[in-house]
Amino acid sequence: MTLSIAKILVTTWGCPWNYDATLKRYSGFRWSEVEYVLDNNRLKSRTILPLLYDLIKPSKCIIIVLDTVAYKYYRDYNELINDVIGLYKDFIRDIGLDPRNVDIIVAPGAGYYSNGIFEGYIYDYKVYTAFEISYRIIDDIRENDVAELHLDLSHGVNYMPTLTYMVIRDLASILAVFKTVKLTVYNSEPYTSGAKKLTIHVIEKTDTFPWPRYSMVYDKKFFIRAKLQAEERKELDQRIKDIMKKIFESRGYRLREVNCFMASIQNGLPLALYRFYISYGVLYELLEHLIKLYKEYIIVKYANSKLHVAKRLGLGDSLYELVKAYITSALLTNIDRVHEPRIGLLNSVRENVFKRNYILNNMISRDLHSIMDRVTRYEKEHGFLTKWTPYDKIYGRGEYTFRDFVAHSGLLAKLIEVYKRDGKIYVRYKEKEIDKVIRFCEDILKP
């Protein structure tokens, strides 16, 4: 059987132009034309992208640039982003590519430059690019069997290559739960004045990734708010509360359940996965609203013949974890929230989600078979389970510690109930123990 392949090419670009401080605009190219060589393939260009694009033939090509190339008066931050996109589209045409075949992400940057002053947090770049990359590639990934990730770090500057690599590695570890993933990282030799030829090196090629790990999500850690006054922080808290009410609470979700969902993947908790599953559409909507809120706190002004961009909020760790939850949920196809799943459904998710993790797969299989065996023995002595029955009544002595919760796939006897209908065993968490289950799940994610 031929496997379908999603080929994703991501590249980071600095500024390819020279800025004329006298004319207050860009004038001429900083990047010179050289011959780029990869194996037996070569092409003369100002970047390695045309050669990689021709060789890889990506289904999705993403260029990440910084907002710090902006230089003139703008009414707001959205106009700034659109202007930067326009600049790079012109450059893409200059190097012989069609801008319609490329997605441009204008990521938030920080620093003092001849063309402008950009105040902000470097970490914003990591969170923002993770979100932008994720939603742009997810449909392509979902529709194919194999995900080929190609990352070019040749033209990125300062923190761009390091943070982009971190993002791609984190995303790859999640993708690898569900798909065959192959990552290739490229970097060309550095350009020096007068160079005629530069070799492109493959600095990493791997198809092995660690099982994903997640961290706790808190609404107070969506943003870094150190630059806000006390009253402004209260206003921000209220706006976040309104967003959560509109998107989460109105649909019966709680933010703490996102932690349970992530813990269920990290530690192999099949019942918790079904009980706390969060729709990726809802997570995307939440992220979209929070990113929009972040942009509303960006001040753009032009004074003393210079652009000044001040980002009054920073994007926090919890937003990054939300992105990871979003892409995880998006890859869980044919699944929905089920409070009372049958054992067969839990076995199915074991086979489909945890098959690449030998330890978790075996642990879940053991615990599910234990429930089936004990229910069968119990029925021989006491008759059929015609109503929901506390599992500790069947199991006997049941442990109630966090350690046992983790060691038994979240299926502690004191926390669950079982029921048999039409020859099938169903299982659920006791409603009175849900808060205990949530606390145990959150403890999994704590450092």
Short-list 14, 118, 27, CA closest to 66: 14
The answer to the question of residue 408 being in a domain is: no
Is the pLDDT assigned to residue 1 strictly greater than 80?
A: no
Q: How does pLDDT run across 180-225, given as a tens digit for each residue? A: 999 999 999 988 777 889 999 999 999 999 999 999 999 999 999 9
pLDDT of residue 408: 95
Give the pLDDT confidence of 19-56 residue by residue, as tens digits. Answer: 888 888 888 898 999 999 999 999 999 999 999 999 99
Would residue 26 count as lying in a domain? yes
- Residue 31 · residue 37 · CB < 8 Å: no
Task: State residue 395's pLDDT score.
Answer: 86
Residue 56 domain-assigned (yes or no): yes
The answer to whether position 287 is within a domain reads no
Tell the residue number behind the tokens 């012989």, with chain if given.
96
35: in domain: yes
Q: Is residue 168 part of a domain?
A: yes
Residue 37, in any domain of the structure: yes
Q: What is the pLDDT of residue 60?
A: 97
Determine, yes or no, domain membership for 314: no
pTM of the model: 0.95
Give Cβ neighbours of residue 262 (< 8 Å, ≥ 6 apart).
214, 217, 321, 324, 325, 328, 445
The CATH code of the domain that includes 160 is 3.40.50.10640
3-class SS shares of the chain: helix, strand, coil, % to 5: 45, 25, 30
How many domains are there within the chain? Answer: 1
Is residue 398's pLDDT more than 90? no
CB 407 within 8 A of CB 445: no
* pLDDT one-digit tens code per residue, 229-271: 999 999 999 999 999 999 999 999 999 999 999 999 999 999 9
Domain that includes residue 108, residue range: 5-210
DSSP assignment letter at 199: E
Residue 150 β-bridge partners: 9, 184
The DSSP 8-state label assigned to residue 322 in this structure reads H
Query: What does the pLDDT look like over 108-163, one tens digit per residue?
Result: 999 999 999 999 999 999 999 999 999 999 999 999 999 999 999 999 989 999 99
In this predicted model, what pLDDT tens digit does every residue of 325-356 receive, in sequence order?
999 999 998 899 999 999 999 999 999 999 99
pLDDT in the model for residue 305: 85
